[in-house]
Amino acid sequence: MPFFSYRARNKSGALVTGRLEAFDRAAAETKLDKKGLIPIAVSPAGQILKLPDINAFFQRITPQDIILFSRQLATLFNAGIPLTRALFTLEMQVINKKFAEIIKAIREDIEGGAAFAKALQTYPQVFDETYCSMVEAGEAAGLLDNILERLATIKERIQEINSKVKSTTLYPKIVVGAIIAAIVILMTFAIPQFAKLYSGFNVPLPLPTRMLIAISNFFISYWYLVAFMLIAPIIIVKWYINTETGRYNWDKFKLKMPIFGPFSQKVTMSRFARIFGALYKSGLPILQSLDIVSRVVDNKLIAKAVKDIETDIRSGKSLSELMEKSLLFPPMVIQMVKVGEDTGALDEMLEKVAYYYDEEVDYTIRNLTTMLEPVLLLVMFGMVLFLALSLFLPMWDIVKFTRR
């Protein structure tokens, strides 16, 4: 938020100068007027250099902070407390100092004449487009407390799914990490010792053993190349995914993956139905709701389909018809949307779709480890079998050699 330098007269006519922070020049003049000062000149000024708060520097605003803020603000606002006073109360109570500063700045913007939604839009890294749009609709309809409760529920559900996914994939990550660590230790320390042992005998080594020793020698001699070959593809893939085309292709590939494809589709459908239903129920027009959903849904392929639907729906076609044409939405979603259109209860049908896919996501998450276990066991079995054959086949040949 910009700073403004001002020259003003107080009630006794004395000249007063200073600086203040405001949304714009008009907001700065409004603040001066509330302080009992008559503005003479108000002009933009550079910000004062301040030493950063070390604790605030390392703090980050988490989804839990936004969820708690939304619920508490809804409760205070529903109790009849004015918005600015409610924000001041939360500003004093919030533990996260960085978030408290943002709440303070939002409150000051509102006191300066800005709408709540406009003040929130100043911090897009904290309050996303869905949040700001629903707050704007809630302000216009006089349902801000209900909208804030709904936003808290949406974010709570999204955060719950993310936490469950992280928890479920922790076991496979540990197993893969242990396999990599075992390979590094074997190649660096164990295999060279076996190679020295076998070199003392004039016995031809089996193919698996020669392969393993060759790999170990290459690993020790050119470890930096091995590290580069492992790290470089990860960096390149991450860079590619961060591009517009790369993210689109990656999201398209995710939907086709054997195990994660159906799971990714269920998560995306749940998010689509929940956000679209909440926006539509908040009173936003269907075109504006679709436009917002196309920007916040977490799959670029489906986001493009939603954007195309928003464009084509102007021609008079129904939403369910266009969703069916895209070939990306499951039949159940299309049928529920069609029923919602026919009965005039689209928001209720979308809520039911979101609930159904929430249950499906929970079920998939509970069984994700079970589905991944055979793959992990197969990889571990193959690695152990190859190592066992490579290390112990020569020993049988050595025993035969010593008996001669």
CATH number of 60-156: 1.20.81.30
Q: What is the pLDDT of residue 248?
A: 92
pLDDT in the model for residue 401: 58
Name the stretches of the chain with pLDDT < 70.
1, 46-58, 202-203, 397-404
Could you tell me the residue ranges of all domains in the chain?
Answer: 3-45, 60-156, 169-404
Flag whether the pTM goes above 0.85: no
pLDDT in tens, 226-273: 889 989 999 999 999 989 899 999 999 988 888 788 888 888 898 888
Residue at 203: amino acid letter: V
Q: Which fold has domain 169-404?
A: Receptor-associated Protein (1.20.81)
The confidence score (pLDDT) of residue 1 equals 62
For residue 249, count CB atoms less than 10 angstroms from its CB and return exposed for 0-12, middle for 13-18, buried for 19 or more: middle
Report the pLDDT value the prediction gives residue 402, as an integer from 0 to 100: 59
**Average pLDDT over the chain, rounded to an integer:** 84
Q: Which region holds residue 235: left if phi is over 0, alpha if psi is between -120 and 50, else beta?
A: alpha
Distance CA(207)–CA(394), nearest Å, equals: 10
Is-same-fold flag (60-156; 169-404)? yes
Q: How far is CA 177 from CA 28, 42, 172, 374, 383, in A?
A: 56, 60, 8, 17, 14
Whole-number pLDDT of residue 27: 78
